[in-house]
Each structure stands twice: as C-alpha cells, then as structure tokens.
A and B are shown apart, each in its own frame.
Chain A
Amino acid sequence: MSEKKKLSVLTNGILNENPVLRLVLGTCPTLAVTTMAANGIGMGLAATFVLLCSNIVISALRRIIPEQVRIPCYITVIAGFVSVVQMLVKAYVPALDQALGVYLPLIVVNCIILGRAEMFASKNTVLNSALDGIGMGIGFTLTLTIMGSIREILGAGTWLAGLDGLLPFLPEGFAIRVLPASVDPFTLMTSAPGGFFVFGVLMAGAAWLTAHKRPAQAEEGSV
C-alpha cells in the first residue's frame, strides 16, 4: 500500500467516514457526555485509546480468532482495554471520572469500537488498523468537542470549563467566558432535548457539506 493510501486511511475517519456524523455509530456517548467541551475531549481521548489498542490487537490476532466466536473475542479484548482506561482515569484524572460516570465503562459497548474491529481490523494489517483507529478516534474526538462546545457556549455561556481537571497546569476553576454574564444562558442546551437537537443540526450540517463538496458521491454515501 502506497504512502498516499495510508494517509487516506488516516484521514478517512475525520470527515468522509466520520464515525458519528456519517456512520452514525457511538451515538449514546456523543449525546450524553457533550454537555461540556472538556468532557467531550476526555471521552474522545479515552475512546481513541481503546480504539487504537483494540484495533492493533484484533488485527494481530485476526488469523487466530475463529470465525464463529469472533464477537465474544472482540468484546473481551475491548473490555480489557476499557478496564485499563478506567483504572488510569480513576487514578490520574479523577475529575474526568466524576464527569463521565457510567459512560466510561460503557465504552465497551460503543459501537464505533466493535464496528471498526468487525469492518476494518479483522481484514487489514496491523499498521493500517492502527492508522484507522487513530483516524476514527480523531474524528470522534473532534465531533464530541464541537458538539460539547456548542452546547456549553449556548447552555452555560462558558467554553472549556473543567479543562483544569484534564490538564493539571491550568489554574483551578479555569473557564473561558464567551457570553457575557448578563446574558441568561439557554440551559435547555445542556439537558437531554438540547443534545438531540444539536446532534440533529450537526448531522444535517455534515450532510449539507458533503453534498456541496461532491454532488456525485453524496448520493451513494447518504444513509
């Protein structure tokens, strides 16, 4: 495989096959943790780590895992890495553990990870699977961050609040004030209906972007 194709494996996950907006995988964490941009970043990074490691291991074992029991095998590998992430997050970024709550162990059933194992890692070389994991992870993290930013700015008037839990060198209580304090924030955005709404609008935006960029390919790409 040429260098150029390798690059396309990496960038595939960011827009063309963005796991959340184009493949519509992993919608639960996307909606649940994006009340704040910092939570989105944390969730994205945790899922990226699991995705990268599980893609590498599953791709390395792809000739050994029997066809009939492949799903339980994949889930065991993924659950192992999720437990690793859970322990690391609990030990080093307890604030993130508090913020993500049950959604951290639920990375196990995030369909992006099982989906990539089934669709990509089980058929491709270790290096390509690793690149695919990174690309998909970046696409996931970017989408979560954008969604978190929109919901946080509209719903709370701040941006990147709570990032000091992720990056210890930031001062405690770090937050960028976007809307002036005199503007009443639209708190509905941080609650459940706002999540569905922002997700719907973002997905429409992605569909619009793709349709305008390549009118010919948009037809077959639509879900």
Chain B
Amino acid sequence: MVVKLASIFFTMILVDNYVLTKFLGICPFLGVSKKLDSAVGMSLAVTFVMVLATAVTWPVHTLILAPNGLAYLQTIVFILIIAILVQLLENVLKKYIPTLYRSLGVYLPLITTNCTILGVTILNLDEGYNFIESVVCAAGAGVGFLVAMVLFSGVRRRVEEAAPPKCFEGLPITLVSAAMVSLSFMGFGGIVEAIFG
C-alpha cells in the first residue's frame, strides 16, 4: 500500500509532471515563473487547493453523482466546487491567517481557472484511484507543479539576460527554453517503476 502510494506520488512529480508532460497549468507556468518567490507562492496555493478540491470532489462524485446516474454533471459540479472552495479559502485566510493571506492572496482568484485543479480531479476518477490514492496523487501533482515552477524560474533568469533574435524576445524564447526543461524531464521516464515496481 505504502509502496503504491509512494509510486503514485513520485510518478506525478517526475514522470507525469502535469506542467511539463501533460500541459496543464501552462498559463501560470509562463505568467508567474519570472520571480522565485511568486513562483513558490503560487505553487503552494495551487497544491493546497488541489488537495482540498480532490478531497471534496472524490466523495461528491462517488457518493452522490455516480450512484444517481448524474455523472454527466461532473464538469459543472466540479468547477463550481472549485470556485466555491477558492472563495471560502480566501475568506478564511483573510480572517484567521492574515500573514499567509498576504503572501498567497493575490494568486487565489487565478486558481479557479487553473486547469491543473479541474484536471487532477477528473483524471483521478478516470484512473480509478480510491480516496487515499486520489489525495496522494493530488499532493504529488502539486509538488510536481512546484518543482517545475522553481526549476523554470531559475532557467528564466538566465534567459532574460540573453539576447535572442528580436522576434524571439519575450514569450517565444521562454517557450523554447521550456521545451529544453521538458526534454530533461523525459529522462526520468521509467525511473519510478525501476525503484518501486
């Protein structure tokens, strides 16, 4: 059991990294990765909402939607749950943990439309994971997002100082360097099976 959970967790970080291999959450990946501290803040907020959203959507789907033949409502119900959770989280943080709110607050509204969150909740159900596996998978996806953001913010600092051809300035050269980072992650393929399999 523990081995399986560890395998899921590390697969989500290294092999199936949502940003670099599944292209989920590219907007924040490109938008917020310029500075290291905002990259970390955004990733922590995403991880937190991701785990919370999975912990809520999994029981809602398994106990309410699926037995009543309402699985077709999945998309609407999940996005509403995520939107409500984000709003609640914002209010709770603002009231009780103002320091955390000041550091994460600005990223929270952006999270509703971050496709990693909706993606992880739907993919968990598609994979047929049970509740604990789903939550571990969500945590792994969040940490994977953090790893990708932190690595890439380092790459970007170097790229900013380089002088690419004029039409490549800005986002195009960033995307090309993202291709290199993603290429390096392909090297992890099979490593998790080799350790835990």
Contacts and interface: CB of A to CB of B under 8 A. Distances in A.
A197 B80 contact: no
B20 A192 contact: yes
Interface string A88-125: 00000000000001100110111100100000000000
Interface centre among A86, A114, A193 (most CB of B within 10 A): A193
Nearest to B180: A193
Interface string B144-186: 0000000000000000000001111111111110111011011
Interface string B9-33: 0000000000011111111001000
B13 to A, nearest CB: 15
Interface string A61-102: 000000000011001100110110011000000000000011
Interface residue SS majority, chain B:
helix
Contacts of B91: none
A60 interface: no
Nearest to A72: B83
Given A191-B186, A193-B186, A223-B170, A27 B30 contact: yes
Interface in A2-57: 24-25, 27-29, 31-32
Nearest to B31: A24
Given A28-B26, A79-B79, A192-B23, A199 B175 contact: yes
Nearest to A106: B115
Nearest to A196: B179
B172 A200 contact: yes
Interface in A186-210: 188, 191-197, 199-201, 203-205, 207-208
B23 A31 contact: yes
A28 B176 contact: no
B170 A111 contact: no
Counting chain A residues whose Cβ lies within 8 A of the other chain, the interface size class is 35 or more
A101 B170 CA distance: 31
A79 B171 contact: no
B173 A200 contact: yes
Contacts of B122: 102, 105-106
Contact of A211 (B123, B126, B167): B167
Contacts of B186: 191-193
Nearest to B165: A204
B76 A205 contact: no
A108 B122 CA distance: 13
Nearest first, the 10 closest Cβ-Cβ pairs linking A and B are A200-B175, A196-B179, A204-B172, A208-B167, A197-B179, A32-B23, A193-B183, A31-B23, A200-B176, A79-B76
Interface of B: 20-27, 30, 72-76, 79-80, 83, 112-115, 118-119, 122-123, 126, 165-176, 178-180, 182-183, 185-186
22 contacts: A24-B171, A25-B27, A28-B23, A28-B26, A79-B75, A79-B80, A83-B75, A86-B72, A102-B119, A102-B122, A105-B122, A106-B122, A109-B115, A188-B183, A193-B182, A194-B179, A196-B176, A196-B179, A196-B182, A200-B173, A200-B175, A207-B168
Given A111-B27, A192-B186, A197-B179, 19 more contacts: A24-B30, A27-B26, A28-B23, A72-B80, A76-B76, A83-B72, A106-B24, A106-B119, A108-B79, A109-B112, A109-B113, A109-B118, A191-B186, A196-B176, A200-B174, A200-B175, A203-B172, A205-B167, A207-B169
